[in-house]
């Protein structure tokens, strides 16, 4: 059972799925109000959240600075999305919104001036991944139900 839980981290997006999304045009920052605190993700489809995520990396200059292959970036974002569970709160939309908030702080506030590009990249990646594979429950629930994770990690199961 624990092996199955560990394997869930290895769900990758296919090259074909990435190629399909790469055929679409990235939305402009202005067209979806991406760098505002009034941003609303609800009108966006699941695919559009991936496109908007890639837009953040492009706009912040990470693709050029860190020589990211665009197909690898698409597959990475799609793989992160795929490894979020369909739970009420700690899901892909939550991660996307946290990343969008960080993107807005970097682009509209002083954070972009105070942090190096590698620090900005680390923050954005951290935002996307911070609740990856979250089960939607807390440590106490995992421990009381004697879940596979609780068996593997006796303290701070979800951390």
Helices 46-59, 117-129: inter-axial angle, 10-degree rounding: 160
Give rounded-to-5 percent helix, strand, coil for the chain: 60, 0, 40
CA distance 155 to 159: 9
Catalytic residue among 67, 90, 94, 134: 90
> What does each C-alpha distance from 137 to 29, 89, 90, 126, 141 come to in angstroms?
34, 10, 9, 20, 6
In the 8-state DSSP scheme, what is residue 25?
A: P
- 94 has catalytic annotation: no
Q: How far apart are the first and last CA of the chain?
A: 19
**What is the set of active-site residues?**
90
């Amino acid at each position: 059972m624990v092996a199955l839980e560990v394997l869930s981290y290895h769900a990758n997006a296919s090259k074909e799925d990435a190629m399909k999304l790469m055929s679409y045009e990235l939305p402009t920052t202005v067209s979806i109000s991406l760098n505002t605190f009034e941003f609303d993700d609800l009108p966006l489809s699941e695919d559009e959240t991936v496109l908007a995520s890639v837009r953040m990396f492009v706009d912040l200059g990470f693709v050029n600075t860190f020589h990211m292959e665009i197909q690898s970036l698409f597959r990475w974002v799609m793989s992160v999305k795929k490894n979020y569970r369909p739970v009420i709160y700690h899901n892909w939309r939550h991660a996307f919104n946290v990343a969008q908030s960080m993107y807005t702080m970097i682009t509209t506030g002083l954070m972009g001036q105070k942090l190096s590009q590698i620090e900005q990249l680390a923050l954005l990646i951290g935002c996307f991944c911070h609740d990856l594979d979250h089960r939607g429950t807390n440590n106490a629930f995992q421990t009381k139900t004697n879940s596979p994770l609780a068996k593997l990690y006796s303290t701070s199961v979800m951390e």
